[in-house]
Structure 1
């Protein structure tokens, strides 16, 4: 069975690959791709039996793949939140997996794929995409935080950036105040508007209007000065520079 993994988080892609190979030794991972554009290009020249497709990719929502190329193979969608019109994922035996993906759910999805393959149903991806683009798809609007014994709600428009420090993730608002939140950066990528927020490396997600200045850096990377100031250097990682520049121009 030839499988394509489309996932912009390298750790998540590698974990999914390991899980798949443990479940079925006959699986061949043909490629692991991080963006819409790269997926479209690759699918135009290659064929697989099954695609595992993350919803948020480095250059936008994966819906764009179906706008640019006809996909004739079954797709198992992956997402961190069930806000994405879950019923739509069930149309014509297309499945979904909620992150973090566990072995039981993955095995169940593979079984559904094998049943799909045996029955050869016709998958209407236009119907699925239309349902997924419906009003049920919402980005995060606010975050609840604790300040001592007080509970506060921070509007997304007031958030300058998010950063990870060890096992913890913090919001930094436009006034420079920091608040601990119960999210991982992976989960945040799923619920933030990709036209406004971009994950520049493994430690930080920034808002477009939080960029104060940008500088050329070693190996064609980009160094960013943020406002309010961040106490560490913010460098766009090598694998994200191309998509970061596209994001700036979008």
Structure 2
């Protein structure tokens, strides 16, 4: 089986690739693509794969824009962080969908479903209806995140998250009760998923919930130093950067 992965999160793509190869080492990954533009270029100059793993939201557009520019007959398994979109995709007759973070059991079930697949053509997948759903509906933000804790999946309510932070090349969330979990999303992706009324990225390392601020202190060069609850591991990591200071002040006064 030849597979293409279209995913703009490098860590998520790497994790998916490993899980696919763990399921069946004979599956060949032909390409790992990050954007609509890169995908269109690849499909115009390469044979189609047997199966595509397709993230709905890519760095430059919704992935459905790929189908507007090239004819693709390969079956698709959608991958998404948005559960309401995933359910719609499934109902619109994609082979299957995988809700991030993807777990081994669900991936195995989707690949087994593909093995039983008997020629569904993408014309029977109502891509236009799904595209319309994503582009015309009111913007919806995540209310909960699913995270992997060993072999188990745990649901965390977004309102219970105090902040997200980068540490040792990984991204973590910390709840209001002080629990810390590793997550698959980058801070850039989290900015898209979270309600900007409640969450703001204050610098390269932190996205915070406004309810986590326990104290604000004037700092050098017009910046603001924040004390968070629960307390951050390094208090100097929670200084609002110069380029985000104006946005931060508007945010807290909204």
1:75 aligns with 2:92: no
The residue number in structure 2 matching 1:103 is: 104
The residue number in structure 2 matching 1:54 is: 55
Superposition deviation, residue 92 in structure 1: 3.6
User: In structure 1, how many angstroms separate the alpha carbons of the residues matched to 2:74 and 2:39?
Assistant: 14
Superposition deviation, residue 52 in structure 1: 0.6
The residue number in structure 2 matching 1:247 is: none
Aligned pairs, number: 183
Output the TM-score relative to the length of structure 2.
Answer: 0.59
The structure-2 alpha-carbon separation of the partners of 1:65 and 1:137, relative to structure 1 and needing over 3 Å to count, comes to: farther
The residue number in structure 2 matching 1:226 is: 243
Could you say which structure has the greater relative contact order, defined with CA pairs below 8 angstroms and 6 or more residues apart? 1
Partner SS state of residue 56, structure 1: coil
Partner SS state of residue 84, structure 1: helix
The structure-2 alpha-carbon separation of the partners of 1:190 and 1:78, relative to structure 1 and needing over 3 Å to count, comes to: farther
Unaligned runs of 5+ residues in structure 2 are: 144-157, 175-179, 196-200, 208-240, 248-254
The structure-2 alpha-carbon separation of the partners of 1:190 and 1:94, relative to structure 1 and needing over 3 Å to count, comes to: farther
The structure-2 alpha-carbon separation of the partners of 1:92 and 1:183, relative to structure 1 and needing over 3 Å to count, comes to: same
Output the TM-score relative to the length of structure 1.
Answer: 0.60
The structure-2 alpha-carbon separation of the partners of 1:141 and 1:78, relative to structure 1 and needing over 3 Å to count, comes to: closer
1:120 aligns with 2:122: no
Q: Which has the larger radius of gyration?
A: 2
The structure-2 alpha-carbon separation of the partners of 1:34 and 1:137, relative to structure 1 and needing over 3 Å to count, comes to: farther
The residue number in structure 2 matching 1:234 is: none
Partner SS state of residue 79, structure 2: strand
Superposition deviation, residue 102 in structure 1: 0.5
Unaligned runs of 5+ residues in structure 1 are: 148-161, 171-180, 194-198, 206-223, 231-250
